[in-house]
Amino acid sequence: MFDLVNRKKRVVQVILGLAVLPFMFWGVESYRNDGSEGYVAVVEGEEISRREYEQALRDHHERVRAMLGANFDSAMLDNFEVKNSVLERLIQQRLLYQEAVKNGFVVLDSQLIKTIQDVQAFQKNNKFSKQQYEKLLLNQELTPAIFELRVRNELLLQQLLDGYSENAITPRSTTERVQYLSEVRREISQSKIAPDQFLSQAIPEEADIAAYYEQHKIDFDLPERAKVEYLVLSLDKVAKNEFVSDEAINTYFSEHQSEFGQSEERKASHILISVSTDASEEEKRIARDKVERILEQVKQDPDQFAEIAKEHSDDPGSAMRGGDLGFFGHGVMVKSFEDKIFSMQLDEISDIVETDFGLHIIKLTAIKEERHPDLEEVREQIENTLKVEMVKSVFGEIVEDFSNVVYEQGESLHAAAEKFELIIEKSDWITRDSKEPAILANENLLSAIFSDDVISNNRNTEAIEVNPDTFVSARIIEYKPATSQSLAVVKDEIVEKLKKEMAVSMAVAEGQERLARLQAGEVLDDVAWDDAQLISYMQPQGLDHEALRAIFRAEVDELPAYVGAVKPEGGFNLIRISKVVEPGSDETTTPENFAKQLQQMITQEEISSYLAAIRQRYDVKIKQNNF
């Protein structure tokens, strides 16, 4: 993403929750004092606690919420991929920290002090203010000791990674070639040969059907499955039964006003034309001429701002989103950029704004006004918070009691349901690998449900923690063992699979035959070409990588030229190249700026390879059921 805060300040602002870094989730000793809370992973003997992981997950949700604004949907983050990526970042962080310590990196106190004192947010009248420093930390619920530990750890990692970011060297000839390939465009038309048109011709032989069944017999086995009834005991469910007085709600509201207010935030998009502060006057003139032309284009057609940003912006992170920088408040962006945005009207487009990173054209796209809700708006939220606090201290005892009841009265869940005021829920058929319902999709719980004791003796499972502060006990009400299905039962399914495979092969063969004829100079009147479009490596217009490779490896001395590629989803893509559009001087990024971008990409790849290598050297264990 576009980096609008300078390198050292960014480390500190990240930890304050004002910006984003790939390695930002630092645990503190207070997270590790309670050994009973559990852990999600162990990296070379050092635990990553569940509490630290949950905080990292909440931080991730808040960043995405701030970036997407009204388009945010929490459901899209509630999946294994997101949760696993957050855990992987924590693991990478631990690995890098251990590597830094192992290799003798240290952060001097003087370096730590200077980094913190240089942050504008901690200054008054351009001087570090201890009062301002402590006030901001208090607002973030951080103590100076914890904050300084986090900054020290971030600086330690930065020293380790600087070796990659500052020493990636790309030969000039390579840079020039890569830049040319990224900017040159070719005009193409496509003719897609889809497998569907061959389905009616695809008729599998009986011998092929039988052979497929024998080779894939295990794929048609029905796994063992069961219908279960279950109880869910959670901190939230227990808390719902508590009573909170109006007096307690009023007191909490008056003592926690800062929790409910929202400072003004603004959402903006920008187009960046990169030019460094130490660039030559000629480079600065070229950059300004380019941005002035783009500004004129934007003013003539403001609705095309996003498309123009995608085409021209040198900020690779935001350009692909039409220049969108998401929502942010005061203190995040560099001063000249921020001052301009917070002085603009909604949908206004700025003149040229200059920062250390280059020249910007800004569009203000949304405003979240400063807001202070009244008590009635947050009453329910406060009530729920207080209920949870009331129950939290005794919840461990409630869980132990629940566990004893479902075990001691293991022939039924009714006693536990009655005692703890819970509703017995029932599932449809589930297997050992079921993902639905989500509350049962826990490895330990499914193993318990399909254990010999529960199946044979028709007993309750033990109470198993499936999510933080959420416990489930289940029992089987209907069970079917694994069974094999005969060829007669699955024949229609096999026929459909074979027809699709045959149709794909026919489409590819047809495409290759037509391509050979086109390349031989034949004119094929029965080929229907789509409308022509300009494509490049940077703007592939939906083409997959293999199609792009074929297009840009084709000889274009004589046009039209023809290439083809097998489509990832099946079928064949005939491609006619009718024109080559060389990069124009006003469209070309300066070699220096492109070299920097290429260096960043190479650095990211090297860091990824480095992380993969050290992951192999260290002992990493993940406790899947705890996250």
534, β-bridge pairs: 187
CB 575 within 8 A of CB 564: yes
Lowest mean pLDDT among 105-114, 197-206, 457-466, 523-532: 105-114
Q: Which of 49-53, 402-406, 601-605 has the highest mean pLDDT?
A: 402-406
Which is more confidently placed, 306 or 595?
Answer: 306
Q: Is the pLDDT of residue 230 over 90?
A: yes
Residues 343, 345, 346, 348: is their CA dihedral positive or negative?
Answer: negative
**What pLDDT score does 8 carry?**
42
Mean pLDDT of 511-536: 92
CA–chain centroid gap for 542, Å, is 21
| HEC readout, 358-385 | EEEEEEEEEEECCECCCHHHHHHHHHHH
CA distance 391 to 523: 79
Q: Is the pLDDT of residue 478 over 90?
A: yes
Query: Which pairing describes strands 561-566 and 127-128: parallel, antiparallel, or unpaired?
Result: unpaired
CA distance 402 to 443: 21
CA distance 602 to 169: 9
Q: Is the pLDDT of residue 5 over 50?
A: no
CB 277 within 8 A of CB 6: no
Q: pTM higher than 0.75, yes or no?
A: no
Distances (CA, A) of 529 to 187, 523, 565: 13, 13, 15
The distance between the two most distant Cα atoms of the chain, rounded to a whole number of Å, is: 88
Question: Could you tell me the pLDDT band of residue 533, with boundaries at 50, 70 and 90?
Answer: very high
Which is more confidently placed, 259 or 420?
Answer: 420
**Token reading at 516:** 């050979």
Q: Where exactly are the structural domains of the chain?
A: 39-166, 185-205+490-581, 225-243+390-481, 262-368
**What pLDDT score does 72 carry?**
61
Q: Is the pLDDT of residue 464 over 50?
A: yes
CA distance 491 to 497: 10
Say what percent of the chain tops pLDDT 90. Answer: 36
Question: Could you tell me the pLDDT band of residue 415, with boundaries at 50, 70 and 90?
Answer: very high
Which residue, among 75, 24, 41, 62, has the nearest Cα to 627 in the 3D structure? 41
Q: What are the pLDDT digits (tens) for 182-222? A: 778 899 999 999 999 999 999 999 999 999 999 998 888 88
**What pLDDT score does 269 carry?**
93
Phi first, then psi, for residue 227 (nearest 5°) are: -105, 135
- Domain 262-368 part of CATH 1.10.8.80: no
Phi first, then psi, for residue 207 (nearest 5°) are: -65, -35
CA end-to-end distance (rounded Å), the chain: 28
**What pLDDT score does 6 carry?**
38
- Return the residue matching tokens 């001691």: 408
| HEC readout, 480-547 | ECCECCCHHHHHHHHHHHHHHHHHHHHHHHHHHHHHHHHHCCCCCCCCCCCCCEEECCCCCCCCCHHH
Beta-sheet strands, E only, within 184-333? 185-193, 225-234, 265-274, 324-328
3-class secondary-structure state, position 194: coil
Which is more confidently placed, 69 or 53?
Answer: 53
Q: What are the pLDDT digits (tens) for 112-154? A: 888 888 888 888 888 888 888 888 888 777 788 888 888 888 8
Q: What are the pLDDT digits (tens) for 278-298? A: 788 888 898 899 999 999 999
For the chain, the average pLDDT equals 83
**Token reading at 605:** 């790849």
Question: Could you tell me the pLDDT band of residue 165, with boundaries at 50, 70 and 90?
Answer: low
Is residue 437 reached through a cis peptide bond, with omega within 30 degrees of 0 on the bond before it?
yes
**What pLDDT score does 20 carry?**
32
Q: What are the pLDDT digits (tens) for 424-454? A: 999 999 999 898 898 999 989 999 999 999 9
Fold of 39-166: Triger factor/SurA peptide-binding fold (1.10.4030)
**What pLDDT score does 68 carry?**
63
327, β-bridge pairs: 267
Q: Is the pLDDT of residue 579 over 50?
A: yes
Q: Is the pLDDT of residue 314 over 60?
A: yes
331-363 per-residue burial string, b: 16 or more CB within 10 A, e: under 16: bbbbeebbebbeebeeeebbeebebebbbbbbb
Say what percent of the chain tops pLDDT 70. Answer: 87
